[in-house]
Structure 1
């Protein structure tokens, strides 16, 4: 039983890493670069999925434009995350020890970038509708083309 749970967690983590690395998704989407993720916890309670991951963005890397179906709560463990909204404006700069929240929905398209010289590590809690992906690719806004 334990090995089946571990195997499922590894598959989910591998899919998430592949997606964040830009290996899957819509061709018009903006793939991430220099991003890796490690699954730390996953549980479904009622109609919500609760997933905790550690996301690392290498210097010069970015998540790619995306949005979430649910809410996201994060804490920067190291480095600096620069966050842009769908107008390509910086709507937050988050340093080690600072927290970030993101609303859910296609109207909250955004991208995270590491403009620093050291890896940025973010621990994230996703609270999504059960069965939904952690994030969805989005086309780059006109301001980023």
Structure 2
């Protein structure tokens, strides 16, 4: 009886481990992305972080969403931005602003389809202590 219960608990544990591993494996990590924090300030329960982000040719942010809003500008290169329905919701060139709303319903990906590095300056307005982004799985688009 105790052995059966132990086996059942082990099976449940393995199922949970497989479920967690599967979820993690579905995330699409960034590729060819580097970032530098230019400044950071916390006030009123929010982090205000200015970052310079560089995406190499062929690089991608991976599918993700943000806990807070982002406001950015393209300094160099071209950003192709896709929503979770795979549609291109913007192609941004040097000097163009970009705004990304907060929330898990706003899954997206940024890609550098060009031949030169893409450089963005981005202001994150996040709840204090939040990560810069939350990983999301590929919603079924033919790219990542």
TM-score relative to the length of structure 1:
0.80
Counterpart CA distance in 1 for 2:82 and 2:121 is 18
Corresponding position: 1:81 with 2:79? yes
Deviation at 1:56, TM superposition (A): 0.3
User: 1:9 — aligned with what?
Assistant: none
Counterpart CA distance in 2 for 1:121 and 1:52 is 13
Counterpart CA distance in 2 for 1:58 and 1:142 is 24
1:66 to 64, 86, 94: 64
Counterpart CA distance in 1 for 2:65 and 2:142 is 16
Q: Secondary structure of the equivalent of 1:77? A: strand
User: Which runs of structure 2 are paired with 1:1-145 in the superposition (5 Å)?
Assistant: 26-144=24-142
Instruction: Report the structure number with the largest CA radius of gyration.
Output: 2
- Please list every run of at least 4 consecutive aligned residues from structure 1 whose deviation after the TM superposition is greater than 6 angstroms: none
Q: Secondary structure of the equivalent of 2:138? A: coil
Instruction: Give unpaired runs (5+ residues) of structure 1.
Output: 1-25
Instruction: Give unpaired runs (5+ residues) of structure 2.
Output: 1-23
Deviation at 1:131, TM superposition (A): 1.1
Equivalenced residue count is 121
